[in-house]
Structure 1
Amino acid sequence: MSETLRGGVIGAGVFGAYHARQYARLPGVNLAAVHDPHPERAAALAMPLGGRAFSEMDAFLEAVDVVTVASPAPFHAAQALAAVQAGKSVYIEKPIATVVADAAKVAEAAARAGCVVACGHQERVLFGVMGLFDIPAQPLRLEAVRHGTPSERSLDVSVVLDLMIHDLDLALSLSSAEPVTAEGEGDIVRSGAWDTARAEVTFDDGFTALFDVSRQAQARKRTMKIVYPSGELEIDFLTRAFRNTTGFSLNPDFAETPAAQDTLGASIEGFLAAVRGEAPRPVVTAAEAIRALDLALAVEQGLEPGG
């Protein structure tokens, strides 16, 4: 592997552009290639950043050392599998796949090939800079609200796999308990899949997590409350308001840290450090991403039409 890693991005859409720009700016890596079935889109993204455009997967994989999969979610598993089978470490935008068995095939193939697999649950970066992973107590309750305004993006999956999976992953990252039940209600508005959902997940130690997500809201909202035996933590991720009565030393100025201001960049840097052997793991591993996917699919199965 060359000293400077050759980064490749699969998908020339909005998320692909975010990743391509990160590879173009981060030290120790450059943007070598962009793959997209529409050659003109791949070229429009790759060429201004010094990369080449590809519409054929084998040629693309020969031109890169590491790969980001930023295509629509139904293609994540197959494209990531092609990358690791070619010996390339891969960063997969969330969700890691849409079927757990497909995600497991990616993880197993990567383990055989000695490749790193990371997943883009980048809000773990925020929890890290807040200090939440250092709290020596288990949460009792979590309430998360994530509302977005209508968009044409990610309509090929439900709002659970699109938005709620972020907060499901965060809940799993805070608790050592296992989820045991998931139920709730939702509405199908325009996509053919759930566009709003309200779900409750209970864990085997009594921890309860409530999730309220929508991609049809009139205004964005992103809040979380976490209840511990000693007090509560309330965060408004849009206004950066922060209230902490837990007694634990947390960082109320988390939003000012470089990592919080560029969570994607911090997450990709963690991936590249793991690829180089400078870190033992990426920010979110394949196993953690599979766990979040498994819970998201359980939530989907537990949803009933809203009243």
Structure 2
Amino acid sequence: MNKINAAVIGTGYLGKYHVDKYATLPASRLVAICDIDSENTQELSEKYRLKTTENYRDLLGQVNAVSIATPTSSHFEIAEFFLKNKVHVFIEKPITTTLQEADTLVTLAEKNKLILQVGHIERFNPAFRFIEPLVHHTRFIEAQRLTSFKLRGSDVSVILDMMIHDIDIVLSLVKSSITDIRATGASVLTHHIDIANARLEFESGCVASITASRINPTSARLLRIFQDENHLHVDLHRNLCRIRRKGNSEMYPGVPTIDSEETYLEKGDALKEEIKAFLNAVIHNTTPTVSGQAARDALAIAMQITQIITDNNAKHQQ
């Protein structure tokens, strides 16, 4: 299988970028796009000369793989249909709205020997890819994801919209079971949680502090990783990596100096790399970078954090 016959389902804000990538990647033959709103598909269909449909079921028999970039509430129904019909699936994050749905998709993919990949795009960020091989004996991780308010994504909590990216990153770096979760958060502008902090404790002794806010005046995506041998500071927005190590001299008696090394990486195209990895997994039948199980695990922690905050806030309102 040299080229994958693919379709994109959902051509709104994010889906249109999926269309652009599939249309230009050599491993893909983009044959159709699907959206319930024909206005979303018209310009793209003319640009790339694509078939269009408002019903994803019409794609069956035409494609080997699909990208699902629809609202989260529809992920399960669409993904289940294609997995049952032996079609490889890429889903934007979060994988589904419930763990039961996620488990069903993971089981279906395994049963039918299909690729199920989920769009946790930060795994393909050049800065994260640069530091990932340097992470070993992690003691403490601090992640911050801050932005100003935007209507897009506000139909769910900041945990499912934003924090889940960093939950996935932390779980991918710390190969250990979680022993305790503590969390706090508040609804400020919406009926959902708009700002949250979670503290994850791992059996290995590592602790992760994750903060997400969509009511911040400025934007930032920062990751700090503290290890025995070094400190890794990563700016995921600016593609800056700073590695700090103990120096050979002393700044004070008994206190070593700190040597610092900075690396700026090219911006790259994380979505293109993500879809390229999906197509490669389909062609070579390899485990995707972000499997359905990995996405399910991130969703499980996100839901636990949400429940802890909801319960705590309810107690304080009594």
TM-score where L is the length of structure 2: 0.87
* Count of residues in correspondence between the two structures: 299
Unaligned runs of 5+ in 1: none
Aligned equivalents of 2:153 and 2:168: distance in 1?
18
> Does the CA-based 8 Å contact 1:270-1:283 persist in structure 2?
yes
C-alpha deviation, 1:46, in angstroms: 3.1
Distance 1:116 1:240, change over 3 A: closer
> Aligned letter for 1:202?
E
| Residue in 2 that maps onto 1:295 | 301
| Residue in 1 that maps onto 2:275 | 268
- CA distances 1:93-138 after superposition (whole Å, capped 9, x unpaired): 1111121110111111112222100111121123663142354x22
* Alignment partner of 1:255 out of 260, 265, 282: 265
| Residue in 1 that maps onto 2:115 | 116
Aligned equivalents of 2:282 and 2:264: distance in 1?
27
Q: Which has the larger radius of gyration?
A: 2
What RMSD in Å do the two structures reach over aligned CA positions? Answer: 2.2
The DSSP-based 3-state class of the residue aligned with 1:299 is helix
Aligned equivalents of 2:60 and 2:44: distance in 1?
17
Going by fraction, where is strand more abundant, 1 or 2? 2
> Does the CA-based 8 Å contact 1:197-1:214 persist in structure 2?
yes
What percentage of residue pairs aligned between the two structures are identical?
A: 28
The DSSP-based 3-state class of the residue aligned with 1:123 is helix
> Aligned letter for 1:282?
P
C-alpha deviation, 1:238, in angstroms: 2.6
> Does the CA-based 8 Å contact 1:145-1:223 persist in structure 2?
yes
Segment drifting more, 149-158 vs 67-76 = 149-158
TM-score where L is the length of structure 1: 0.90
Correspondences of 1:118-133 after superposition (within 5 Å): 118-126=117-125, 129-133=129-133
Unaligned runs of 5+ in 2: 247-259
> Aligned letter for 1:44?
E
- CA distances 1:138-186 after superposition (whole Å, capped 9, x unpaired): 2111111101121121222211111001101110111111112222211
- CA distances 1:174-213 after superposition (whole Å, capped 9, x unpaired): 1111112222211213332111111111112221111111
> Does the CA-based 8 Å contact 1:130-1:254 persist in structure 2?
no
Distance 1:176 1:12, change over 3 A: same
> Does the CA-based 8 Å contact 2:131-2:241 persist in structure 1?
no
> Does the CA-based 8 Å contact 1:186-1:194 persist in structure 2?
yes
> Does residue 13 of structure 2 align to residue 20 of structure 1?
no
The DSSP-based 3-state class of the residue aligned with 1:245 is strand
| Residue in 2 that maps onto 1:284 | 290
